[in-house]
Structure 1
Amino acid sequence: MNIERKNLDLVDLISERHGQLRKISEQLWNDNSSIYISNSEWYIMSRVYKKQPTISYVTKHVDISRQATHKFIKSLEAKGLVEVNNLENNKKEKCIKLTSLGEECYEKNEALKANLEKRIAEQIGEEQLAFLKQILKSNWGL
C-alpha cells in the first residue's frame, strides 16, 4: 500500500501507517503460527512479558476497556499463553504472567517485527529509519 493521497495531515499519515503495519504484522504471525492472537492480545502480552503484574495494573496501562481487557486475558489463558494466579497476601488481586508458550510466541512475534523493520530499512534507508524512530520517541510537547 502506497500512501499517495495529497493533503493528508500528520495524524492521518501516522494512523494509516500504523494500521498498515499492524495488518502486515498480524498477517505475518498468522502465516507462521496456528495460534491466532489479536492485536489487543499482543498489546496485553507486551505489558506482561518478563513481568508478573496484577490484572488491575494491566487494565490501567492498556488503552482497552476493563471488561475487554478481562475478556482478552481469559482468551489468552484459554490458549495457554498466560496464567493467572492469586497474589500472595491479597485475596482480591490476581497476577498474570506469560507461560513458556506465551513467551515463545511473544519472542517469535518480536523476531517477525524485527524482520519487518529490516524490510522497511531496505526501502527507506537505515538513516531515515533511525531518524523516524528518533522523531517518534521524542517529546512532542503534547
Structure 2
Amino acid sequence: MEDNNLDIKFLLLEKLNLIEELSFIEAKKHEFETNDIVTATRIITLIQNGIVTPSLLGKKLNISRQAIHKSINNLCEKGYLCLDDETSNKKNKQINITKKGNELLVCRKEVMNKVENTIKKNIGQEEFTKLKELLSKKWD
C-alpha cells in the first residue's frame, strides 16, 4: 500500500510510534523506565513551560481532575515532581520539577536530538526543515 492512500492521522501516528520506539531505546540507555520518557516528559515539559497547577495541567491535557491528580502523585512518588502550597493561596498546589525530573528532561532532549538526526539522515535537511515548518503552522 502506498503512503498516498493513507489518511493524515494514520501517517502521523505511524511516525509518532517510530519516535517513541527510538525514545524507549534511549531511555533504557539512561536507565529511565521506558514509560517515563514518553508519558512523564509530556507532563514535566508542560510544567517547565509554565503550567504549574493540577487544574491547568488537566485542562491542557484534556484529562479529568482525578486522572491528572493520579498522574502527578505517581510522578511525585517516582521523584520527578513535588507539590508545594501556592504562596498566594495555600489551598492551591503548585507543581515543581525535582532534580530527577530535570535529569529526565535532559534525557528527553538528548533523545529528541538523536531522533531528529535520524529523521534528517533519512529525508535530508531541507525536507526536515520543511516538515518542522508545516507542523509548526496553526491548524485550527
Bucket of the pairwise TM-score, normalised by the shorter protein: 0.7 to 0.9
Q: 1:51: Cα distance to partner?
A: 4.2
Which residue in 1 is equivalent to 2:48? 49
Q: 1:81: Cα distance to partner?
A: 0.8
Separation in structure 2 between the aligned mates of residue 50 and residue 10 of structure 1, nearest angstrom: 28
Instruction: Give the root-mean-square deviation of aligned CA atoms.
Output: 2.2
Separation in structure 2 between the aligned mates of residue 135 and residue 81 of structure 1, nearest angstrom: 33
Which residue in 2 is equivalent to 1:31? 29
Q: Is the CA contact (8 Å cut-off) linking 2:41 and 2:108 kept in structure 1?
A: no
Q: Percent identity?
A: 28
Which residue in 2 is equivalent to 1:20? 18
Question: Which aligned pairs between 1:65-76 and structure 2 lie closer than 5 A?
Answer: 65-76=64-75
Is 1:116 aligned to residue 131 of structure 2? no
TM-score (norm 2): 0.86
Cα offsets for 1:50-83 (capped at 9, x unmatched): 6471121111111333222211111111111111
TM-score (norm 1): 0.85
Q: Please list every run of 5 or more consecutive structure 1 residues that lacks an aligned counterpart in the other structure.
A: none
Q: 1:105: Cα distance to partner?
A: 1.5
Separation in structure 1 between the aligned mates of residue 89 and residue 104 of structure 2, nearest angstrom: 30
More helix by proportion, 1 or 2?
Answer: 2
Separation in structure 1 between the aligned mates of residue 118 and residue 33 of structure 2, nearest angstrom: 24
Q: 1:32: Cα distance to partner?
A: 2.2
Question: How many residue pairs get matched?
Answer: 139
